[in-house]
Amino acid sequence: MVAVSLLLPNVWSFARVRQWRNPLQRASSVVSRRSFSPLSSRNINTGLQSNYSDKAAEAQIPVEQSEIIFIGTGTSEGIPRVSCLTNPIKKCTVCDKATEPGNRNRRSNTSILLRYINDLGRYNILVDAGKFFYHSALKWFPMFGVRTIDAVIITHSHADAIGGLDDLRDWTNNVQPRIPIYVAKRDFEVMKKTHYYLVDTSVVTPGAAVSDLQFNVIKEEPFIVHNLEVIPLPVWHGQGYRSLGFRFGNICYISDVSDIPEETYVLLKDCELLIMDALRPDRSSSTHFGLPRALEEVRKIQPRRTLFTGMMHLMDHDKVNEDLAKLKDTEGLDIQLSYDGLRIPVIRPLIH
């Protein structure tokens, strides 16, 4: 048994939502959170660094443990890039490595799955279903025993966030009657065009099977998904284009961001685990943070721990992580890159 003091930094909580809530925001939670005990033995977990290639570590996450699974951690085109592998002149080291089975440079579209367990049951809450959703689900769902999709929350309506909505038909045809989708109005308007037959199923030929999705339009204020309070974190994803990050307890997820509006910082207070966009090692793009800007934001937000996501092929997993690890000694910052298949245990709210 590893000492408790070593374990606690690896375990994150959905509880304590009210401690940091912006008083100006509508109190919409119906979740009862009467106590919180980080020392409870059933919440302690040693599986932080577990991954698909380490069955022993995987087994350390108890069945009744809430967790986050990184379904995808890469850019829209995916890593490796096909064009890098077919380039006869220039060799791309990262994309080459990404072809090796189990290599952490292999990345599909950004997405996480919250396996959330409360007293009513266990719920698989997916954030985004992008172009590569089918391939990601094929790889991780059977491996991690994920059967149902109990909700999908959408960050924005780019193809790498919603391109997999059509593939949800496998679930609504064969696993469950329907899937609730939580989406901002502007992105729902886009879906009416890109996925018109899923929004208005009356246009579908009788007998043809399409995903049965139940759309819930969300505003930039807290909403409840299976008794879990979700706080939208509005950010800019390119000039004039809004994307949403989400806060679950003390975990903040921002996958697509080029700028953070001042009013969103208050929602990021006391964040213990920050999962944030970091596209490339040298600079930001017009739509995404690069590593220097992402680090600047981490210093400003001051989360207890940070995992970057949305990395392109210029980000070598081991090399960048080695550099980031030095920040722990120099600045006390706990920052690493995430990778597809990474599982992070989460403490569930305790209810008497």
266-272 — which CB contacts under 8 Å span 24+ positions?
266/22, 267/20, 267/22, 267/231, 267/233, 268/233, 268/301, 268/303, 269/20, 270/16, 270/19, 270/20, 271/247, 271/301, 271/302, 271/303, 271/304, 272/12, 272/13, 272/303, 272/304, 272/305
Looking at beta carbons only, is 68 or 95 nearer to Zn ion? 95
Both tokens of 130, joined, read: 């992008």
Looking at beta carbons only, is 67 or 128 nearer to Zn ion? 128
Looking at beta carbons only, is 313 or 348 nearer to Zn ion? 313
What's the min distance (Å) between Cβ of 153 and Zn ion?
A: 15
Beta strand 66-72 with 111-118: parallel, antiparallel or unpaired? antiparallel
Looking at beta carbons only, is 231 or 257 nearer to Zn ion? 257
Q: Which residues contact 329 (CB under 8 A, 6 or more apart)?
A: none
What's the min distance (Å) between Cβ of 310 and Zn ion?
A: 9
What's the min distance (Å) between Cβ of 127 and Zn ion?
A: 13
What's the min distance (Å) between Cβ of 94 and Zn ion?
A: 5
Q: Which residues contact 205 (CB under 8 A, 6 or more apart)?
A: none
Looking at beta carbons only, is 97 or 348 nearer to Zn ion? 97
Looking at beta carbons only, is 280 or 313 nearer to Zn ion? 313
Query: Given the rule CB under 5 A, which residues bind Zn ion?
Result: 81, 84, 92, 95, 158, 256, 313
Both tokens of 169, joined, read: 């038909």
Alpha-carbon span 5 to 337, nearest angstrom: 23
What's the min distance (Å) between Cβ of 234 and Zn ion?
A: 14
What's the min distance (Å) between Cβ of 161 and Zn ion?
A: 6
Looking at beta carbons only, is 81 or 107 nearer to Zn ion? 81
Looking at the DSSP assignment, which residues form a beta bridge with residue 263?
Answer: none
277 near 257, Cβ under 8 Å?
yes
Residue among 329, 252, 333 at smallest CA distance from 291: 333
Q: What does R_g of the chain's alpha carbons equal in angstroms?
A: 20
Looking at beta carbons only, is 130 or 222 nearer to Zn ion? 130
Backbone angles phi, psi at 346, to 5 degrees: -135, 135
Match 């994307």 to its residue by tokens: 243
What's the min distance (Å) between Cβ of 79 and Zn ion?
A: 7
Both tokens of 153, joined, read: 């929350």
What's the min distance (Å) between Cβ of 192 and Zn ion?
A: 19
